[in-house]
Amino acid sequence: DGGITQSPKYLFRKEGQNVTLSCEQNLNHDAMYWYRQDPGQGLRLIYYSQIVNDFQKGDIAEGYSVSREKKESFPLTVTSAQKNPTAFYLCAAKIGAGANVLTFGAGSRLTVL
């Protein structure tokens, strides 16, 4: 089945450590996104990528980094510079230009101890 796979589902991190969240898609979609979800705040855009080797900052990019070396993969690194990293992280993808539907992964929950 085509879809988006995020891993790990749950992740615990000590303060000061970097952690990388994986996002893989087999939908052959061009655009990929990372969102952060906090209770009562909806979804906030961290980074997005329209094509391979290109990505743009979203509304809350500070403390995060991404790469897009392959069409299928868009990993997110939460660095030690992110002051409040505990959250639910969602990866999404869509076909390309135009107002198309976003397809989401199941999410990764990061907890900083």
Which residues here bind another protein, judged by CB under 8 A?
Answer: 4, 6, 31, 33, 35, 40-43, 45, 48, 50, 58, 90, 92, 94, 97-99, 101-107
Min dist CB 16 to another protein, Å, is 28
Q: How far is residue 63's CA from residue 7's CA, in Å, rounded to a whole number?
A: 20
Min dist CB 80 to another protein, Å, is 26
Min dist CB 49 to another protein, Å, is 9
Closest by CA to 34, choosing from 2, 11, 4, 12, is 4
